[in-house]
Chain A
Amino acid sequence: MSTTTESEATYTSDEMMSIAAARVLRGDQRCFVGIGLPSTAANLARRTHAPDLVLVYESGTLGSKPGRLPASIGDGILAETADAVISVPEVFNYWLQPGRIDVGFLGAAQLDRFGNINTTVIGTDYANPKVRLPGAGGAPEIAASCREVFVVVRQSRRSFVEKVDFVTSFGHGRGRGDRERLGLPGAGPTLVITDLGVFRPDPETSELVLSQLHPGVEVADVREATGWELKVSPELSSTPEPTEAELAALRALKEAK
């Protein structure tokens, strides 16, 4: 892809995030899709460069091919367009747990320096939370058993914190080696895509490091929206602008009823 072409198109930071998240998926992968931002990205990937990407939803659909964005993980269109419809125990026991899924694509309310995810409570007193969030859903086992995990999240000091208030889904714990110590089969979060850039775990420490900046974003903007002392990769690159085709596909997906 040419990075020198000036795109005439204007786009939002949310659109850049979804497009950047879609680009990291490949057609030869099987992806366990969380609802919301991950579902937008995975469906966009199927509509653009990765038509053979296999989408798995926890409601019990293998190989869904929806023509619009599903309203929820149990949207009827996911079952109607699937290769197979299965029960919920089967999804988790036969398909996720043995390691048949390549990528777990998750969202987060809070994400910390080591890619641990919180979707349970805001506040450190579980019994008296400041905010009660929906909870775990399928995420703890998706984060444990998929070969790798991608996270897509809007970045701010509230969502990007030094340490999550509650570990709903285990990322890299407090650093390198923690996953191995727990015997977790998958590699954990290998990519975090936000509306500002892309983060990867440092190979030595597993700390999330800024590795890619979206167009028009400065390192200082990212630092401002990060709740820990941000480290920047020496090989920091910039995200190519969205193409006309990507933007058209994303907007068509969102407008389709």
Chain B
Amino acid sequence: MADIVSLADGVGRLVRDGDTVALEGFTHLIPHAAGQEIIRQRRRNLTLVRMTPDIVYDQLIGAGCARKLIFSWGGNPGVGSLHRFRDAVQHGWPVPLEIEEHSHAGMANRYVAGASGLPFAVLRGYSGTDLPEHTDTIKPITCPFTGERLAAVPAINPDVSIIHAQRADRAGNVQLWGLVGVQKEAVLAAKRSLVTVEEVVDELAPVPGGMVLPTWAVTCVAEVPHGAHPSYAQGYYDRDNAYYEYWDSVGRNRDSFEAWVREKVLDMEGSR
């Protein structure tokens, strides 16, 4: 059964230095508040996993929380580059960042294998690209039935996966809808999981296309209204497109980024 906890307690209990941590949410329902709580609790040497390390990981990388990034697309969607990510890869600032790079299909299948309890996944992918030369978690495999050459990628089983959802009931059953990305797979693949939600309600009314993660598949639930901002939560609030533009100016320089971390994250201790 999931425990209903505060965000600070949830991150404090579940995320440890050196852990492999996945924050998922494909543009929609990105757990931004949880990412900033990890910065506030000054976690270090994390291996961060995420298909689309956008602003949420630019912040974690810039704050020096990560030693490695496993990903498939690292940009500021609709705006341009992630400057902290680039600074870490190109100049090792604030700490060197090792990268393990895949395609979306490869990452999605790694989570599926992790959620399925299998050691690896098979896909028709990466053929002819330079990715296998630089990423040792992509290997060729021959189909034992047809002889077709395919790609194998190992399961991802994070120590902890964190997602954001629209709501949970008091028993800790989680409900999400709209674009659901790889969130279910990320939670089921992980040893521990934290779900932040817009609200905790008495009863989960059915929603068309909605998905429920039963309480016994989740470790902790924290009520964090607006916890996906600047991304969005369908049915609650829209994407803050202006923030993505604003982030470009904050993230562009080390000074402006450090001022932002101090003012908007570290000095906000205990505000959740």
Instruction: Decide whether A and B assemble into one complex.
Output: yes
A170 and B127 contact, CB distance less than 8 A:
yes
Taking the complex as formed, is A129 at the interface, i.e. its CB lies under 8 A from any CB of chain B? yes
By a CB distance below 8 angstroms, the chain A residues around B6 are none
Contacts of A97 in B (CB 8 A): 105, 123-124
Q: Is A173 an interface residue (CB 8 A)?
A: yes
Q: Among B27, B89, B109, B231, which residue has its beta carbon within 8 angstroms of that of A93? A: B109
> In the complex, how many angstroms separate the beta carbon of A108 from the nearest chain B beta carbon?
14
| A241 beta carbon closer than 8 Å to chain B | no
Q: Check if A88 sits within 8 Å of B131, measured CB to CB.
A: no
What is the chain B residue whose CB lies nearest that of A116? B128
B179 x A89 contact (CB < 8 A):
no
Name A160-191 residues within 8 Å CB distance of B. 166-170, 173, 178-179, 182-185
State whether A141 touches B124 (Cβ < 8 A): yes
Q: How far is the CA of A182 from the CA of B126 in the complex (A)?
A: 10
Q: Is the interface of A mostly helix, strand, loop or mixed?
A: loop
The stretch that binds B, out of A14-22, A67-75, A200-208, is: A67-75
Given contacts A60-B26, A182-B127, contact A87 B105 (CB under 8 A): no
Interface residues of B in 143-191 (CB under 8 A from A): 148-149, 178-182, 184-185
Stretch of B31-39, B70-78, B261-269 lying at the A interface: B70-78
Residues from chain B with Cβ under 8 Å of A75 in the complex: 27, 239
Question: Which of A46-54, A130-138, A217-225, A232-240 contacts its partner?
Answer: A130-138
- A74–B24 alpha-carbon span in the complex (Å): 13
- Interface of B, secondary structure class, is loop
Asked if B103 CB lies within 8 Å of chain A CBs, one says: yes
CB distance from A90 to the nearest CB of B (A): 9
Known: A88-B108, A136-B73, A137-B104. A168 touches B234 (CB 8 A): no
Complex contacts, B108 vs chain A, CB 8 Å: 88-89, 91-93
Chain A hits for B126, CB < 8 A: 140
Interchain CB contact under 8 A, B180 and A87: yes
Given contacts A71-B239, A79-B178, A134-B74, list 9 more A-B pairs with CB under 8 A: A72-B27, A79-B28, A80-B234, A85-B178, A126-B130, A134-B82, A135-B73, A136-B72, A183-B148
B residues sitting closer than 8 Å to A (CB atoms) are 26-28, 51-52, 71-75, 77-78, 81-82, 85-86, 89-90, 101-105, 108-109, 111-112, 123-131, 134, 148-149, 178-182, 184-185, 209, 231-232, 234, 238-239, 241, 244
**CB-defined A-B contacts under 8 Å, sample of 17:** A35-B77, A60-B26, A72-B239, A74-B26, A74-B28, A76-B179, A76-B239, A79-B234, A87-B182, A88-B26, A92-B123, A132-B90, A137-B52, A137-B104, A140-B103, A170-B127, A182-B128
Partner-B contacts on A (CB < 8 A): 35, 58-61, 71-76, 78-80, 85, 87-89, 91-93, 96-97, 120, 126, 128-129, 131-132, 134-141, 144-145, 166-170, 173, 178-179, 182-185
